[in-house]
């Protein structure tokens, strides 16, 4: 194997970002980078992004791709900042077009091609001697994709650690039915495949973890495992999502993330529209 994986945990948003690299060519990609944002002062900082840059430099890695698993509602992306610093290309699932069409009139966003590539299902991205396979895995949002690399799959907010469950499906365009089908697609990859999640919200008795396996998910996931019937999952997922609070960074995150991390001097607060 030439795949190397380094995870980075942002405790403010419980988000995992990843640097994946090919140990032969030293070419690298970043998955779901975080731009730090203080909602009370409106200040943005780049501490988390600079941590990624430092790791790349210290390990002599050349960044080629910045991969977004979806349009995040709980943190701002540092994709554009990293692109300007390091010259990499930003890619996201082609389902973003549906997400953009929903939110564009609410935020009065200008139509623009902020991303460098819109990824199709089954598309292969080259990273040195590694092949990254794109899997469309909607449910949390219609734009969600997972990235399969050797024996590792990066699933964004589709699945969390087994004791936490699965991602919410109540965002516009979200679907418990689609989430079930997407998780079954991940389960079909094989028990040995490692599952890297986009967040962890650990209970007090354990520290955050980024990685599980398909086998452990099928055995122990509290929302969907090998013994869970579709109707049971659908009812449970919808019950969990009912009256769930809106993510605290939803409004700034969507405006910034729909533009691949680009932002100006002000953000909009649409009243009585969410």
Residues with Cβ within 8 Å of 218's Cβ and at least 6 positions away in sequence, in order, are 187, 191, 225, 226
Residue 52 has pLDDT above 80, yes or no: yes
Residue 1 has pLDDT above 80, yes or no: no
| 70-87 residue pLDDT tens | 999 999 999 999 999 999
Q: What CA–CA distances, in Å, run from 188 to 52, 185, 213, 215?
A: 32, 5, 12, 10
Average pLDDT over residues 164-176: 96
Place of tokens 């991602």: 167
Residue 267 has pLDDT above 90, yes or no: no
| 81-139 residue pLDDT tens | 999 999 999 999 999 999 999 999 999 888 778 999 999 999 999 999 999 999 999 99
pLDDT above 90 covers what percent of the chain?
Answer: 92
pLDDT interval class at 140 (50, 70, 90): very high
pLDDT on residue 129: 96
| 242-256 residue pLDDT tens | 989 999 999 999 999
What are the structural domains, with CATH classification, of the chain?
3-257 (3.60.15.10)
pLDDT on residue 110: 82
pLDDT interval class at 48 (50, 70, 90): very high
pLDDT interval class at 264 (50, 70, 90): confident
- The answer to whether residues 70 and 34 touch, using CB atoms and an 8 Å cutoff, is no
What mean pLDDT is reported for the chain? 95
Q: Residue ranges of the alpha helices (H) in 60-209?
A: 79-86, 96-107, 176-187
| 200-212 residue pLDDT tens | 999 999 999 999 9
pLDDT on residue 266: 82
Average pLDDT over residues 141-162: 97
Query: 113 is written with which tokens?
Result: 């091609």
- pTM to 2 decimal places: 0.96
């Amino acid at each position: 194997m030439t795949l190397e994986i380094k995870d980075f945990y942002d405790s403010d948003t419980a988000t995992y970002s990843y640097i994946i690299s090919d140990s032969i060519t030293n070419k690298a990609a970043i998955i779901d980078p975080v731009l730090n944002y203080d909602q009370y002062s409106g200040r943005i900082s780049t501490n988390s992004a600079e941590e990624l840059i430092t790791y790349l430099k210290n390990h002599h890695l050349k960044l080629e791709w910045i991969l977004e698993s979806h349009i995040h509602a709980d943190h701002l992306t540092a994709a554009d900042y990293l692109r300007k610093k390091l010259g990499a290309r930003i890619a996201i699932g082609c389902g973003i077009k549906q997400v953009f069409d929903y939110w564009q009139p609410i935020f009065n966003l200008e139509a623009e091609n902020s991303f460098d590539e819109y990824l199709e299902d089954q598309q292969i991205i080259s990273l040195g001697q590694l092949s990254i396979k794109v899997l469309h895995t909607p449910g949390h949002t219609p734009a969600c994709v997972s990235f399969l690399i050797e024996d590792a799959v990066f699933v964004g907010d589709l699945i969390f650690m087994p004791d936490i469950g699965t991602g919410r499906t109540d965002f516009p365009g979200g679907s418990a039915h689609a989430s079930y089908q997407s998780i079954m697609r991940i389960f079909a990859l094989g028990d040995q495949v490692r599952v890297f999640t986009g967040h962890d919200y650990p209970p007090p008795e354990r520290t955050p973890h980024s990685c599980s396996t398909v086998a452990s998910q099928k055995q122990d996931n509290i929302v969907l495992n090998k013994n869970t019937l579709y109707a049971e999952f659908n009812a449970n997922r919808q019950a969990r999502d009912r009256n769930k609070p809106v993510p605290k960074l939803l409004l700034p995150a969507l405006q910034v993330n729909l533009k691949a991390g680009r932002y100006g001097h002000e953000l909009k607060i649409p009243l009585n529209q969410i």
